[in-house]
Structure 1
């Protein structure tokens, strides 16, 4: 079962390797939820890295009401009308040229 469906059914811990006997369940579930925030279909809905760091390292309340299905999630029940995951994704591009710095050893 895909991770998003497990989340919707409240069964995220089923994603954990069954060989792991002891682990901090609350932390693992939190990390999985942060991963869902990072994989939102619309780029504008994804958190900045500084926000991700805060979500992972502090006891910040996660606003799960803002979560939507990940960008590449496809419901198997709509196989005849599957939409490309790119159709609903907004891309943000910068007109500023990027530069790459190459380091050379001394």
Structure 2
């Protein structure tokens, strides 16, 4: 739905889930569109030997319909070289023009 341009994510978590799906199918255009302009890379490198398998939301702060910023902590599971593994990140999100966008990983203390 969001990948086709049919609406936008109402929360940071919803955007996180749609971005995970975009990584899983290699939808670079959607990933770049939903990346904050000040941190957006020129391109998104995809590893052809890696398959994203599931997303686990660990926690969140803010990021709701009435917030302007928030974080979503997640664990993204994948398979590479026949082995399962995961990456863990606490991502920062902000609204730009009313739409949620991914900013960057939250700095750890």
Range into which the TM-score falls when normalised by the shorter chain: under 0.3
| TM score, norm. by length of structure 2 | 0.27
Q: Which has the larger radius of gyration?
A: 1
Structure ranking higher in strand proportion: 2
| TM score, norm. by length of structure 1 | 0.27
Structure ranking higher in helix proportion: 1
